[in-house]
Chain A
Amino acid sequence: MGDPVNAIAAWLRNLLIGLGLSPGLTTVLLTALGVLVMATFVTVIDILLVWVERKVVARFQDRLGPNRLGPFGLIQPIADVIKLLIKEDITPRGADWFVFNLAPIMALATVLLMWAVIPFAPTILGADINVAVLYIVAVGALGTLGIIMAGWSSNNKYALLGAFRTVAQMVSYEVPMVIVLLVPVILARSMGLQAIVDSQSTWFFFLAPIAALIFLITSIAELGRAPFDINEAESEIVAGFHIEYTGMKFGLFYAGELLHALTVSAVFSTLFLGGWRGPFADQVPILGVVYLFGKAFFIYWVIMWIKYSFPRLRIDHMLGFSWKFLTPLSLVLVIATAVLDKILRGTGNAPIAFPYVLLQLGMNLVIAAATVIILREYARIERKRVAGVRPVATAIEPDFKELVAQE
């Protein structure tokens, strides 16, 4: 009874076939059902996330946060949802009605799509396609699309600016992200997430900490969360792409953002923190779900921590950071990892041994040290440049003697 999901699935299948449906149709129905359940589950968690978000930010800012409705204000998000639902739903004049309404749906749907490939447990996962990693990237790209549609369709220059920024940011941050995703793929010899999880007898985080870090950074940028939230920088472009959205449409964006964060955390834990791995997860698959969400929430917390600790970056700095720093670093990382892996493990899918872990880790440390040194040099130069002499306006001293003489 350690695997309720599959048990229920099997029972339903037998039931339906007993009712005289064709196996093919049954499969279709069950798949649809699974999708439905999955979506609902995630969305419910999403509602919870609102509460988490508000609570945690309150703690970070030394406040109490929602605490009136229900124990610890647990009912608060429900109230929020109701509020959003009863708000007036406006489509501004001159806006592109269809696109305008499609955008928020895209925004949330793409996030939901990601959950299709994340393995919850050895036996519980949506689809074990052998290109899951690419799939995640692809869906992330679709998310970008939603934001552009929103920004463009709402016929508002701030929204458009936000969309532009989003495009620039996402396109440039996808590059190091995709590159760095190769590291776990190389280590696991597969692009399937289940296979990646299976091969994480030691978490990849310990084999490739830098890769994990870069992935975290880039995915935060993909999220468009602080410090990378210039696409909705209140101080510059009011609210960015969702400035014109009201009521539940805005709610969808909001939920999408929160859920996206959790999704990214889940992906991160799957790729680098061993996914559902944990004690007895193999015997009792349902435990795997617990472990996965435990790790995911930890990462989610880290993301929030970053969000509420860092100031916003300037856009040129941000793009420069991606193109001039992350991309080269990730390239170096991938090449080094591949070479080391080829030398140590050959082409076959040999299991990961302890010395191998140590060597990969050492390689990462070396690269990190080199990076730090280079950065220090760069910073020194920059400081020199910035601290250089600046032209100062000077006024000619009036000749007081003459003034006195004129008296």
Chain B
Amino acid sequence: MTTENITWLLPLPPVLAFFLIVLLTNRSRWLSHTLAIGAVLLSFVGSMVVFFRAIGTEHLGEHPITSAVNWFPTGSEWFRIGIWVDPFTAVSLFFVAWTVLMIFIYSVGYHNYGQPKGDHDVPGLPPHGATIKDEHGHEHRVPSIEPMYSRFFAFISLFAFGMYTLVVSDNLLTLFVGWEIMGLCSYLLIGFWYAKTTARAAMIKAFLTTRVGDVFMLLGLAYLYFKVGSLSYEVIFAPETIQRLAELPSVIVGLSAAALIGILIFIGTVGKSAQFPLHVWLPDAMEGPTPVSAMIHAATMVSAGVYLVIRFFPILSAGMEHDSLTPPMLAMAVIGAFTAIFSATIALTQKDIKRVLAYSTISQLGYMVAALGIGAYVAAAFHLITHAFFKALLFLGSGSVIHGMEHGVMHTGEHIDPQDMTNMGGLRKKMPITFWTFLIGGLALSGFPLVTAGFWSKDEILADAFGHGHWAVFLTLALAAFLTAFYTMRQISLSFLGEPRTGAAEHAVESRWTMTFPLAVLAVFAVAAGWVGIPEHFPVVGGLIPNWFHEFVGGTLAEHPETVAFNWIPLLTSLVVALGGLYLGWLVYRGVHAGQADPLQRPLGPVYTVLFRKYYFDELYDLLFVRPAIWLSETFAYLWLDRGLIDGTLHLVARAAFSVGGYLRNWIDKPIVNGFGDFVGESVKSLGRTLRFIQTGRVQQYMVMALVIAFGTLFYYLFFLAQP
């Protein structure tokens, strides 16, 4: 099978699985998850084939593997959709395939497959656990299976479909389709436990917030289509097109068309990958099941935002001379850097293990955006991939931790939040595999030098920022990296190190292989994924492995980005921030014991509260948007406009019409129309009375009449009309 065909088929299996599960197999759990996993396994194999063939291809960047078909006619020519595999697509396929597969496998364990049905589980709520008797007659509380098991697999299958579509599509429209499908799925999955009010709120919040971005993105696409007349990559990324766009002035003074499009598209990314100020939905999205968090916040959806901007880099950077940033890049640099530091600070104080990760995700995405903003194309892509791996790992790890905690909670029966890190501690003995994998992930996240993947990618970003002399970005990111290391260590030491702070933590147990196996696999990548991108000039290890990633992915761009000259300062910086942050975190949080407040609370004082309340952003938005919206709809629109204005007018019109109708009826309808109608009726009746005798009810006489008339007309015609 040719690479094109395989690529065409990549998104297919998940969506098939989705329909099959929804329509047919939703009764049987086993069938459902087998279907889903089988489907993604197919896609996985296909992606790997595509990936390795892509690696094998020479000059893939200049001549990507493409194939397209006519979709629908637009005026004179056709709108073509198709597939597009260039180096960046290839690597994206790589990480998407791996993470998605792992998450699918993980989900089986996470939703307690093989456990008994819960005592009082209802669809729409997380399983409460079941009571079983062992042979000694002791009653045990054990986790119970998810009531809406099949539904979950259907949704994530659809999600995978969306991601694959987005990655392989060769034009922005299908990309947007996949994008929106993922939006829908995230909506459905965040609100998977729809009976929880928080979940409902979160799902709506996520949907609306991303919608804001999507609208702007759609505007950007429309504008692009209006300017270029096509949405497929080979047209819009052709150098001449970009040149034209860069010179073409746009509706906004001082912005080139390229710049305007870039900014609009970038707003889409802001919404999708939760950049400031549209970041608020992501932390709340933690209401969903943990595999979903991993899916949305590591592997796929948020990455899709970054994927989009990376994909769009040629247009974003259109008309960029050396080191002078175009407006969209500037915006990205600023917003990215700010988001990085901003959410890193919030992450410092969160107690919920998943929220911390969520904020760290936001800050890492900020990293990538900022990196792209300063033109570090390869670095951004690199960090996107490494981050996908270790963040998926971290989320799944946290899910495993929560699982263990829930186990403990069920065992002890105390009423505590199993996600709160202050209730954990000492889990490293209870759940060793989770601990080690989580540790690897954490170190990768905080960029532990040399071994972990995160180090290389981050270091590359910092090096680029430094090398191109964007000091502000460099410093911000460095600080963010420091904070990252700090809160990561905080998280690890709070949840794993030290002594158990609650009975639940005492009785936590290691999760089953379906959950730990993906952890292990992802851990491998969290370390190894970095080695493909080690700069040549790096001391000691540099050049041991060729900087394959830079060569390969860099080939995507038209002009090959040059690797920045090696410099000691960024390296030292990243070393210092990583190690320092980790050490500090360990120092501060090693000895936290039960019931003790967060050690940072006292030194930071009010700032801590501000951070803990996430800079009051939710409240702010509530004040700015939600309340006014409600007021607008309920008071203004409903009471004033509807009730007062429209209804009033209508009633007025109605009364007027009523009276007019009365007049018409009395003076025109009754005398004239009715009179005429009665006259007609009467006359017809009398006519009928006179003609009635013809109707004898004898069929044959009727026929005789008919024949007589027929013959009469015939003869008349023949003898009088037809005579020449």
Classify A-B as touching or not with yes or no (CB < 8 A).
Answer: no
Interface positions of A (Cβ within 8 A of B)? none
Interface positions of B (Cβ within 8 A of A)? none
